[in-house]
């Protein structure tokens, strides 16, 4: 083979060793060796598969600075045709695959609406309008509700809440009488709680304290909320052990509520109350109560550690809270700690039923914690808690084996036989007795009223859901479950990006506003 650049080499019938030459190399103008390891690199197209140029191949321009000629010789036309057929078949197969990918429905294509969290938040909030008792506002978006429970007030005790759930066929109550709330006329007894209901007191203190921060612009109202919270907290945390306990311990307080909403302790509620009172007042004595009585992990305390570390003597309990919160958040992702359905729904209390209320709250807490880490630009402590939030809500809003949205009114397929008296009895101006209302409960027809925004209890541990009114473990919504739903939807909702933020981080969290009254580290 000549060594000069630009030379032309042809195959001859013999060589110096007497063997025929079948494949040859040509040196390109760029000084590179052209490939000829295969017989198809030495083929000359000479049987009119393509039109011949009138000017010949020498007239075609080259990608290099000078053209390079080399002759290709067909040694077996049958193999070449087979090669062409195979090549064309592969090309068509690739084209068909691309078309399938582009035009066939994707796995979750029918759940695109589940990404519309703004719509989901608005709908979830309307559920609370459907739960109101007393004089009903005329401007409510729920048009199948009206005044209810107007006779609940006891003239002697001046209480205006609670009801009865005792079993007894001859005594109508909230459980066995299937009437619209607007038509209730049976007795609804009142329960009265003293200072021994520390769990209830703690929740009320926390709510009043948090509300004082929300309404801080209304200084008079905000101060009244704080004053009431401090007074109640003092009563609930007296040193006298007889003054503390759960509401379920006292018959007059717990009443029939113990059958449905049992309480296992009160310490966590008082820690929760003390934490919010600290934020509402800046008084470290409340945080000291939390420090000495702290036993459980709280995301709220973790926020205090991350964004407003007070140092000694609180750093130990705050660090412990952070470590425990890390463990809880990451445990949501562990198949060893919590079970999951085959469809991916986390089962925090598999024997309790109604799994969605727990998974929704877990989604909220994990997303909030993930946002804290993002604000800190922390990567070493992440275990994917933001992923579990997205998966849980895609599941709740329709991405599940039943292909059903468990929030009523959202999406194309959702429960239509919700266990809810206002939803399953028509609002037609007719009075229905308890017995007459029973026929509506047993009807196979969908509810005449759509309880928009209500999240039902959810499926069983096998992802199976029964849409029937007489199956409350599947179809009953609750205020507590919708509270977790709304919190998580807001947490997952993408906030507007702040153009002035060079790092692009604006998670909708007021990083410091909650600490406006809190002292700084010494």
Note the pLDDT of residue 233.
94
Q: What is the DSSP secondary-structure string of 265-312? A: -SHHHHHHHHHHHHHHH--HHHHHHHHHH--S--HHHHHHHHH----T
Quick one: tokens of 441? 């409960």
Note the pLDDT of residue 76.
67
| H or E, element range at 340 | strand 339-340
For residue 419, indicate whether it is catalytic. yes
Contact 6, 66 (CB under 8 A): yes
Report the distance separating Cα 197 and Cα 243, nearest Å.
Answer: 8
| Residue of 403, 421, 395, 400 whose CA lies nearest to 475 | 421
Note the pLDDT of residue 154.
55
Q: What separation, in Å, do the N-terminal and C-terminal C-alpha atoms of the chain show? A: 87
Bond into 9 cis (ω within 30): no
Q: Which fold, 115-168+329-512?
A: Glycosyltransferase (1.50.10)
Report the distance separating Cα 169 and Cα 172, nearest Å.
Answer: 7
Helices assigned H by DSSP within 332-465: 356-376, 385-396, 421-424, 434-441
Task: Please state the domain extents for the chain.
Answer: 115-168+329-512
Q: How far is CA 493 from each of CA 113, 120, 327, 370, rounded to the nearest angstrom?
A: 14, 10, 25, 14
Contact 23, 74 (CB under 8 A): no
Determine the 3-state secondary structure of 63 from DSSP.
Answer: coil
Contact 430, 478 (CB under 8 A): no
Q: Enter the DSSP assignment of 450.
A: -
Backbone angles phi, psi at 432, to 5 degrees: -115, 125
Q: Which of 151, 419, 420, 493 is catalytic?
A: 419
Quick one: tokens of 111? 């759940």
Report the distance separating Cα 341 and Cα 359, nearest Å.
Answer: 12
Q: How many CB atoms lie within 10 A of CB 77?
A: 11
Determine the 3-state secondary structure of 491 from DSSP.
Answer: helix
Backbone angles phi, psi at 346, to 5 degrees: -75, 135
Q: Enter the DSSP assignment of 321.
A: H
Determine the 3-state secondary structure of 79 from DSSP.
Answer: helix
Note the pLDDT of residue 229.
97
Note the pLDDT of residue 111.
36
Residue bearing tokens 């006891």: 154
Note the pLDDT of residue 473.
93
Torsion of CA 173, 174, 178, 181, to 10 degrees: 120
Report the distance separating Cα 75 and Cα 438, nearest Å.
Answer: 89
Note the pLDDT of residue 116.
78
- pLDDT means per 10 residues in the chain (522 residues)? 39 44 42 40 39 41 44 63 79 77 48 63 94 90 90 57 62 85 84 82 95 94 97 86 80 79 85 94 92 74 82 82 80 71 87 88 86 72 62 89 95 94 89 87 92 96 94 94 92 61 58 76 64
The long-range contacts involving 404-408, CB below 8 angstroms and separated by at least 24 positions, are 404/465, 405/114, 406/356, 406/455, 406/456, 406/458, 406/459, 406/465, 407/120, 407/123, 407/124, 407/453, 407/454, 407/455, 407/485, 408/450, 408/451, 408/452, 408/453, 408/454, 408/455, 408/456, 408/477
Residue 338: left (phi > 0), alpha (psi -120 to 50), or beta?
Answer: beta
């Amino acid at each position: 083979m000549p060594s000069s650049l630009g030379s032309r080499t042809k195959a001859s019938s013999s060589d110096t060793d007497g063997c025929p030459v079948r494949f040859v190399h040509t040196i390109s103008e760029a000084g590179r060796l052209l490939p000829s390891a295969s017989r198809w690199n030495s083929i000359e197209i000479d049987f009119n598969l393509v039109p011949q140029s009138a000017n010949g191949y020498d007239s075609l321009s080259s990608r290099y600075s000078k053209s390079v000629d080399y002759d290709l010789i067909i040694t077996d036309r049958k193999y070449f045709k087979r090669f062409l057929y195979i090549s064309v078949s592969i090309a068509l197969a690739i084209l068909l695959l691309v078309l399938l990918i582009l035009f066939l429905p994707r796995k979750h294509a029918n759940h695109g609406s589940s990404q519309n969290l703004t719509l989901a938040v608005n709908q979830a909030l309307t559920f609370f309008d459907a739960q109101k008792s007393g004089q009903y506002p005329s401007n409510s978006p729920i048009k199948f509700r009206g005044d209810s429970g107007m006779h609940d007030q006891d003239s002697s005790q001046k209480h205006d809440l609670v009801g009865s759930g005792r079993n007894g066929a001859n005594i109508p109550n909230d459980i066995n009488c299937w009437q619209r709330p607007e038509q209730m006329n049976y007795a609804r007894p009142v329960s009265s709680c003293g200072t021994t209901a520390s769990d209830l007191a703690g929740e009320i203190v926390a709510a009043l304290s948090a509300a004082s921060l929300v309404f801080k612009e209304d200084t008079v109202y905000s101060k009244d909320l704080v004053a009431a919270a401090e007074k109640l907290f003092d009563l609930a945390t007296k040193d006298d052990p007889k003054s503390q306990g759960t509401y379920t311990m006292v018959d007059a307080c717990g009443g029939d509520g113990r059958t449905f909403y049992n309480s296992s302790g009160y310490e966590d509620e008082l820690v929760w109350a003390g934490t919010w009172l600290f934020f509402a007042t800046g008084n470290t004595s409340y945080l000291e109560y939390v420090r000495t009585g702290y036993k459980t992990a709280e995301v709220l305390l973790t926020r205090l550690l991350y964004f407003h570390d007070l140092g000694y003597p609180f750093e130990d309990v705050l660090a412990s809270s952070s470590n425990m919160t890390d463990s809880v958040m990451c445990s949501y992702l562990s198949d060893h700690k919590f079970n999951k359905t085959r469809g991916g729904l986390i089962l925090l209390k598999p024997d309790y039923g109604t799994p969605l209320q727990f998974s929704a709250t877990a989604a909220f807490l994990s997303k909030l914690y993930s946002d804290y880490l993002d604000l800190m630009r922390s990567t070493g402590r992440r275990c994917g808690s933001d992923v579990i939030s997205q998966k849980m809500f895609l599941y709740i809003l329709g991405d599940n084996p039943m292909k059903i949205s468990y929030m009523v009114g959202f999406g194309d397929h959702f429960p239509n036989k919700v266990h809810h008296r206002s939803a399953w009895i028509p609002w037609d101006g007719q009075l229905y007795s308890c017995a007459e209302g029973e026929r509506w409960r047993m009807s196979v027809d969908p509810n005449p009223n759509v309880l928009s925004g209500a999240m039902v209890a959810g499926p069983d541990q096998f992802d199976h859901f029964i849409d029937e009114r007489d199956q409350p473990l599947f179809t009953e919504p609750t205020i507590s479950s919708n509270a977790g739903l709304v919190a998580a939807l807001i947490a997952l909702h993408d906030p507007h990006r702040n153009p002035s933020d060079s790092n692009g981080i604006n998670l909708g969290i007021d990083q410091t506003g909650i600490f406006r009254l809190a002292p700084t580290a010494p």
